[in-house]
Chain A
Amino acid sequence: MTDAALFAGVFPPGAAAGPFGRRQRRARGARVPVILVTGFLGAGKTTLVKALLESEAGRATAVVVNEFGEIGIDQALLAPSAEGKVALLGNGCLCCAVRSDLEDAFRTLFTDRARGAVPHFDRVVLELSGADDPMPVLQTFLGERALAREYHIQAIVAVADSATGRLALRDNPEAARQIALADRIVLSKSDLASAEEVAALTIAIRAINPDAPLREARHGQVDPDFLLADSILPPPSALQADAPGHAAGLSTFVLDFDAPLPWRALTAALGLLCEMRGADLLRVKGLVAVEGCRGPVVIHAVRHLLHRPVELEAWPDPAAARSRLVFITSGGLGRAAVAALFRAVAGLAPP
């Protein structure tokens, strides 16, 4: 668990800094935002990504895909780079096909950008193949020694096919997991499905992910801002978690806290969870008021990894300045047990 910064006790931190370094305007700090697009095979991810690239808001986007062929960008392809790994697209975008090492691809993208070897990009859209489990990818971006310093997972967007999504969810644990982990969900091809099919899929999705904002795509398109928004938390008013919320062995629930937490208590509880039940801790995300901090602290954990905390300058919505942690778990790890753990640890904290 990260504690206060290394230099503490040597140099005064400066007026702009808190216990976790300089307070940031937003969770990504100065890092490059990454939007992870998941969804089962044929769900319409590629159409969605293409539409984003062609929009004004999608300018200067780098896309990382498994294979060029999959995204079908041939007609938009302007010039492959010397290494043949990166394709420059119209609209100031570029596309990078990854065959094996995702980490290596992202590192190369970053260094090529610094060198001016590829056009400057403002964000990366990573399109996972349909059968990919997003968990290892998330872990890759959270490990401090890997990509966490330069990249920030801004959002996981799951795409579900309105007509076939329900079957995919029923038959494929990966599909359910993609939905569970998503920060935002797009229902694709709703113009090709009946209203009943869309309604049934929505119910199935809500059983797994009760709160993520959900949008229907029309002809493969949604408002680019829906994909690019930088909040990982659903608006509090929408929070319905703790409702039944069980499907495919997955749970989503929320803990909220009235008073600022002592950092030691928070890290003790999260640390213990990561250690004992890390395998079932698919994702923890939230904003928490921490004692001694001016702004909320961004918490993001995946399995055994807790990302270095980031203190924000202010709550995104001062009217909703309340600590909330969203847990996405598997293996029957439920709210009651986690809440009890937090209570017990808080009780152990020195007065």
Chain B
Amino acid sequence: MTITRAESKPAAIWNFRLIGHHELNGFGGMGEGLSMQMAKDGRRILWAAHESAPKNFTAIDVSDPRNPKVVVQTDLPHQNMRSNSLETSGDIMAVAYQTKQVDMQPAGFELFDISKPEAPRSIGFFDASGPYSRGVHQLWFCDGEFVHMAAGARDFQPHDMKDDQFYRIVDVRNPSKPEEVGRWWMPGQRVGDNAPKIQRHPQPIRDSGFRAHNTNVYPQKPDRCYLGYLDGGMFILDISDKSLPRVVSNWDNSPPYHGFTHTILPLFGRDLFVVTDESTVDNAADWPKLIWILDGRDETNPVPIATCPMPPVADFKDRGGRFGAHNLHENVPVPGCWQSENIILGTFFNGGLRAFDITDPYRPQEVGHFVPEAPRNSSLGAIQINDVFVDDRGVVFCVDRKIGGLYILEMDF
């Protein structure tokens, strides 16, 4: 792998105002879990997952977004794991644990009582470890009742080890005793399936694995899971019977694209889906990784109608690290979260944070961007904006994947 450092990386900010920045005590390599707790004492606490060890999660008091304060920062039990994803629902937080190798502990998710943000208290653990499992990569937890997640399991042996994580639903209404209530995987993913093995992406298309990533479920349509399945594309699942999820539709752009379908954001008021593919390779070797707009009028037949414009790959690919789409602000259905069906905010690693007006979904227009300079001590020499969350005040929080920590912005478009 070659990492080319550009001569200069101009900071670019357009129609955003940077109002705060916190390096998170030197542990500013952040994952894809950003969740806001509206604490009972009136504070707004942003809970942020770390991209990798040694830190588990950090809570930041962002009541005054110009003066963010770390209220707690916790450590993982060991270095061979990560907790890249978390969500809060009221005073309960779920944190995903994924180990570096299979058959390690702790692999699953942990539940915390965060009613005192300074002192998160473990109140439950769901074990997803096993001889073929690395545990939980990502989870969705908004209703205080069910965790929807991308996880392996003790009883799940994939044909290909890249396919170890699938969609699982866990009832956490009794947090001390979480119980699985349903699961779904792609037919042919598991040894023993009554279906032919999944066809791998043929060379030179990347084979990143057929496994679950984002598992979004919204109260507007509680019987649907919007499931990113990496090289399997996007699935809409009918989960009206959680014990037996059924496929409503599958949209898969790869090949010819390089897979890694990551997030599906349904815009219920607009009959649209916003879908991202994650760039996972430095120097944009998996280009193009895009934000897609899909016509969702018929959920059984989602039709791609546009992609969000990006700056030229030639000018970004060699800046250091990755360049391409990744996470979105997901209209998480919890108090304190901004809801928007006209503006889409997405993260693009060294392409920074970008905002798009999709009022005309056939013609998404960029309306703002934020590409900070390489953070202090950056080994890549470039920013890697990884995740974004917008609160209901319109304050935007985005994080660097490597070292830069938390950037706080106001939208000005």
A15 / chain B contacts, CB cutoff of 8 Å: 269, 341-342
- Smallest Cβ-Cβ distance to A119: which chain B residue: B10
Do residues B361 and A11 form an inter-chain contact, with CB atoms below 8 A?
A: yes
CB–CB B269/A14 < 8 A: yes
Quick check: A14 and B10 within 8 Å, CB to CB? no
- Determine whether the beta carbon of B360 is less than 8 Å from that of A116: no
Interface residues in B1-50 (C-beta closer than 8 Å to A): 9-15
Smallest distance from the beta carbon of A338 to chain B beta carbons, Å? 33
| Interface membership of A318, Cβ < 8 A | no
A32 nearest CB across to chain B (Å): 8
Q: Could you say which residues of chain B place their CB within 8 Å of the CB of A149?
A: 365
With a cutoff of 8 Å between Cβ atoms, the chain A residues found around residue B272 in the complex are 11
Q: Main SS of chain A's interface residues?
A: loop
Task: Count chain B residues whose beta carbon lies closer than 8 angstroms to a beta carbon of A.
Answer: 36
Contacts of B342 in A (CB 8 A): 13-17, 22
| Chain B CB within 8 A of A115 CB | yes
Assuming the contacts A25-B413, A120-B13, asked whether A30 and B360 have C-beta atoms less than 8 A apart, the reply is: no
Q: Using CB atoms, name the residue of chain B closest to A18.
A: B359
- B379 within 8 Å of A (CB atoms): no
Q: Please, what's the 1-or-0 string for A1-42, where 1 marks a CB less than 8 Å from any CB in chain B?
A: 000011100111111110001100100011000000000000
Flag whether A114 is at the interface (Cβ < 8 A): yes
> A22 CA to B355 CA in the complex, in Å?
14
What's the Cα separation between A114 and B342 when bound, in Å? 22
Interchain CB contact under 8 A, B270 and A29 = no
Docked-complex contact B12 and A120, CB < 8 angstroms? yes
CB of A16 within 8 A of CB of B359, answer yes
Interface string of B267-286 (1 = CB under 8 A from A): 10111100000000000000
CB of B315 within 8 Å of the partner chain: yes
Which of A10, A12, A114, A116 makes the CB contact (< 8 A) with B269?
Answer: A12
Contact between B413 and A29, CB atoms less than 8 A apart:
yes
Complex Cα–Cα for A22 and B413 (A): 10
> Given the complex of chains A and B, what is the CA–CA distance between A287 and B307 in angstroms?
33
Interface residues of A in 154-199 (CB under 8 A from B): none
CB-CB under 8 A from B12, the residues of chain A are 113, 116, 120
Closest A residue to B14 by CB, please name it.
A120
CB of B102 closer than 8 Å to a CB of A: no
| A29: B residues at CB distance < 8 A | 367, 413
How far is it, in angstroms, between the C-alpha of A16 and the C-alpha of B14 when the chains are bound?
21
Tell me the chain A residues, 282-326 only, with Cβ under 8 Å from chain B. none
Q: Can you name 7 A-B pairs with beta carbons within 8 Å?
A: A6-B362, A7-B360, A11-B272, A22-B359, A30-B367, A116-B315, A120-B11
Smallest CB-CB A-B distances: 5 pairs: A30-B367, A115-B315, A16-B342, A14-B341, A14-B342
Q: What would 14 more interface pairs be, CB under 8 Å, given A16-B359, A21-B357, A116-B316?
A: A5-B360, A6-B360, A7-B361, A14-B342, A15-B341, A16-B340, A17-B342, A21-B360, A30-B365, A114-B312, A114-B315, A115-B312, A117-B315, A122-B14
